[in-house]
C-alpha cells in the first residue's frame, strides 16, 4: 500500500501502539474527544477518558472495534488524562502500560492486565513505583522487556533529573545536551522496574549528544523501538517541529545515532506512531487531523507502508502537512 489509509473513520483515535498477537494486528490508541477544555501547551485539552482496542486480519481489510478496554473510572488512583498506552505479552497475560495523572495532577505510569489481547484490562491498585512522565513503549526480546518513556512540556519530563522530582522544572539551555527519553528494564513479574531508569542518549553522526536547541532533531515525546536485521531503531517525535525521526544502535540501551526523518509533518500539531512488521512488510501507524478539519485534539488513525533502503536507512514518508 503506497497511500496512507484512514482506519477508523467514525471516531477519533490517536497515538497508536500496534503489535501482532495470535497472527492479527492489534491497535491500542488513545481516544480523542471534545473535552471543552481550552487548548494550551500543557495539553489539558487532551482529556481522554478510555481506551478502545482494534484488530485487523489484513492491512487492507476490515478493522474490528472490540469496545472499551479500560476507563479512567476503573482506575483507583486516577486523576485525569488517559494518554497513549502500550501493550505487551508474557506467559499468558497481556500487560497494558498507560500514563495517567494522579489526584495531584502528576503523570505516573499504571499497569492493567488481561488474559486476552482485546481486553478488558484490569488495573493494578497503584502506579508503577518510581514512574513518571508519559508515552510508555515496551520492547521485548530474549525474555527481557524494556520500557521507553518520557515527554516534555505537558509530559512533565522537565520536572525530573536523575529520576528525582525537582522543586522547579527547567530545561537545559539551547547549547546543552537535550533532555533524554528514558529506558528501564522491567521486573520479571512485569509489575515494576528492575533497575533505575537511565537516559537513552541520542547522538549526532559526529558523536556528540543532540542539544536542546536542535529542535528539528532532539527528542520531545513518542518513543518507539523496533529491530530490523540486527539493528535497533529508536524512533520519536520532535514535537514542536512536527517530525518523526529515528536513530539506530546496537543494543536496547543505546547510545543511538541520529539517522534522519521518518515522517515529515502531518496536518496537526505533532504526531505519534508505531512501527510493525506484518506478513513480510513493514508499516507505520500514525495520525493526523485532516478529517476533523485540523483540530489538533481530534486526530484520526492512519497506516502506510514503510520501506528500507539497502543500507538500512528508512525512506522518508511524506506526512502531507506544512514543512
Residues designated as active site:
15, 221
Instruction: Give yes or no for a contact between 217 and 234, defined as CB atoms under 8 angstroms apart.
Output: no
- Terminal-residue alpha carbon distance, the chain: 24
Between the CA of residue 287 and those of 22, 65, 89, 277, what are the distances in Å?
25, 17, 25, 18
Per-residue three-class SS string for 22-70: CCEEEEEEEECCCCCCCCCCCCCCCCCCEEEEEEECCCCCCEEEEEEEE
Between the CA of residue 224 and those of 51, 171, 250, 251, 270, what are the distances in Å?
19, 23, 15, 14, 15
Question: 10 Å Cβ neighbour count for 104?
Answer: 7
Strand partners, 44: none
DSSP letter, residue 159: G
Amino acid at each position: 500500500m503506497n497511500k496512507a489509509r484512514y482506519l477508523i473513520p467514525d471516531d477519533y483515535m490517536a497515538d497508536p501502539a500496534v503489535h501482532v498477537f495470535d497472527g492479527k494486528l492489534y491497535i491500542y490508541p488513545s481516544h480523542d474527544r471534545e473535552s471543552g477544555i481550552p487548548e494550551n501547551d500543557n495539553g489539558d485539552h487532551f482529556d481522554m477518558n478510555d481506551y478502545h482496542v482494534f484488530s485487523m486480519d489484513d492491512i487492507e481489510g476490515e478493522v474490528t472495534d472490540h469496545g472499551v478496554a479500560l476507563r479512567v473510572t476503573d482506575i483507583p488512583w486516577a486523576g485525569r488524562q488517559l494518554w497513549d498506552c502500550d501493550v505487551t505479552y508474557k506467559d499468558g497475560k497481556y500487560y497494558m502500560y498507560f500514563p495517567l495523572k494522579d489526584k495531584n495532577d502528576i503523570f505516573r505510569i499504571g499497569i492493567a492486565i488481561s488474559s486476552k489481547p482485546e481486553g478488558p484490562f484490569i488495573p493494578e491498585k497503584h502506579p508503577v513505583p518510581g514512574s513518571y512522565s508519559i508515552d510508555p513503549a515496551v520492547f521485548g526480546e530474549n525474555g527481557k522487556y524494556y520500557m521507553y518513556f518520557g515527554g516534555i512540556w505537558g509530559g512533565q519530563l522537565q520536572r525530573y533529573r536523575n529520576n528525582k522530582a525537582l522543586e522547579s522544572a527547567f530545561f537545559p539551555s539551547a547549547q546543552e545536551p537535550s533532555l533524554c527519553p528514558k529506558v528501564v528494564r522491567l521486573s520479571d513479574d512485569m509489575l515494576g522496574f528492575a533497575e533505575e531508569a537511565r537516559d537513552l542518549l541520542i547522538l549526532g553522526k559526529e558523536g556528540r549528544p543532540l542539544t536542546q536547541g536542535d529542535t528539528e532533531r532532539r527528542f520531545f515525546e513518542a518513543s518507539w523501538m523496533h529491530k530490523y536485521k540486527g539493528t535497533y531503531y529508536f524512533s520519536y517525535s520532535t514535537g514542536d517541529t512536527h517530525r518523526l525521526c529515528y536513530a539506530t544502535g546496537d543494543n536496547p540501551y543505546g547510545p543511538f545515532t541520529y539517522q534522519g526523518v521518518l515522517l515529515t509533518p502531518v496536518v496537526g500539531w505533532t504526531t505519534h506512531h508505531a512501527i510493525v512488521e506484518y506478513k513480510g512488510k513493514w508499516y507505520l501507524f500514525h495520525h493526523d487531523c485532516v478529517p476533523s478539519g485540523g483540530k489538533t485534539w481530534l486526530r484520526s488513525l492512519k497506516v502506510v507502508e514503510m520501506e528500507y533502503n539497502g543500507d538500512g536507512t528508512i525512506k522518508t514518508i511524506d506526512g502531507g502537512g506544512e514543512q
